[in-house]
Amino acid sequence: MKNTPYLSIIIVNFNTYKLITNCLDSIINQNCSKNIEIIVVDNASSDDSVKLIKESYPLVKIIENNDNLGFGKANNQGVAQARGTWIMLLNSDTIIPKGTINDLITKLKDQKNEIIGIKLLNQNNTIQPSAGYFPSLSKIIMQMLFIDDLPLIKRIIKPYQQNTSSFYNDNHEVDWVTGACILMLKNNYDFVGGFDEKIFMYGEEVDLCYRLKQNGCGVKYWAEPFIYHLKGASSVDGFKAAIIGEFQGLITFYQKHYSQNLKILKIILGLGALLRVIVFGMISPNKVTVYKQALKIIYSKKYEN
């Protein structure tokens, strides 16, 4: 009979051949195989990454999809087959320093109903923002008008996205943490039904954390340990995907949880996108194109109340 792992690591893969190799190598080099299992859910990759995993990583369990089912649904598939007490949802474009998983397992044993996010670093060792607070209308107004960049405002209003690097030097109680690396008890994930599969990609972790908090869970950011996240490397055209995804995620969140304020939100987002079209008009044509596309998305029929 196989040992029951303490931690199940679920990784969604879509055409990230080189990235997932680095990710898996960094996990396997942890020397903690008795305490973990690794599950890769492949969303119909065409780059031979599945073949590579089968040949080079025999201990990794692979779930193969015939279509790209999206981030949320693929994670749900992986968690459904996980045997661990805790689960770690991990992006394929991450690298885990040696000793990190054993450190996490030790710390997790003192936790009960918390969702945990840990420090993410860019390749150059700079902080990558990875946590924040639920997107109230006031927070979105501050963000869209660049007001939340003012030091005084930052001290008064907790921002939707916490972008101050010094924030990430200490542990914090937050509302949400990024899905690039998120840990929680499998039972809690199952209790709320996991990710909302209607959210294809981006924003799904805010919704998940919201539902978990509604059911009595806490959300924590830990400053230690840390992992590297090659942000956007596992998405096509990282900036465009992140901006469009952020707008889509906010609208979807309001459709689901604050539908009475959806029209107000769309006005605020529209003003924010228009402001960025003006600001970037002379210095970054590529960003202008992205924010013009965001404007179209805001007022598309898909996002009507």
With a cut of 80, say whether residue 234 has pLDDT above it.
no
pLDDT for the residue 236: 43
d(CA 258, CA 190): 24
Render pLDDT for 243-288 as a digit per residue (tens, 0 to 9): 888 899 899 999 999 999 999 999 999 999 999 999 998 888 889 9
Q: Mean of the pLDDT values across residues 134-156? A: 88
Q: What is the mean pLDDT of the chain?
A: 92
d(CA 278, CA 271): 11
pLDDT for the residue 238: 72
pLDDT for the residue 150: 81
With a cut of 90, say whether residue 163 has pLDDT above it.
no
pLDDT for the residue 21: 96
Render pLDDT for 195-213 as a digit per residue (tens, 0 to 9): 999 887 778 999 999 999 9
- In order of 188, 293, 305, the CA distances from 177 in angstroms are 16, 27, 27
d(CA 305, CA 302): 9
Q: Mean of the pLDDT values across residues 58-65? A: 97
With a cut of 90, say whether residue 28 has pLDDT above it.
yes
With a cut of 70, say whether residue 59 has pLDDT above it.
yes
Render pLDDT for 88-140 as a digit per residue (tens, 0 to 9): 999 999 999 999 999 999 999 999 899 999 999 999 999 999 999 999 999 99
Domain 7-134+159-229 in CATH 3.40.30.10? The answer is no
Closest CA to 53 of 67, 43, 42, 66: 42
User: Roughly what angle, to the nearest 10 degrees, separates helices 262-279 and 285-298?
Assistant: 160
d(CA 101, CA 226): 10
d(CA 148, CA 169): 20
With a cut of 80, say whether residue 25 has pLDDT above it.
yes
Domain ranges (residues) in the chain: 7-134+159-229, 238-303
Q: Mean of the pLDDT values across residues 216-224? A: 98
Closest CA to 209 of 180, 178, 246, 240: 178
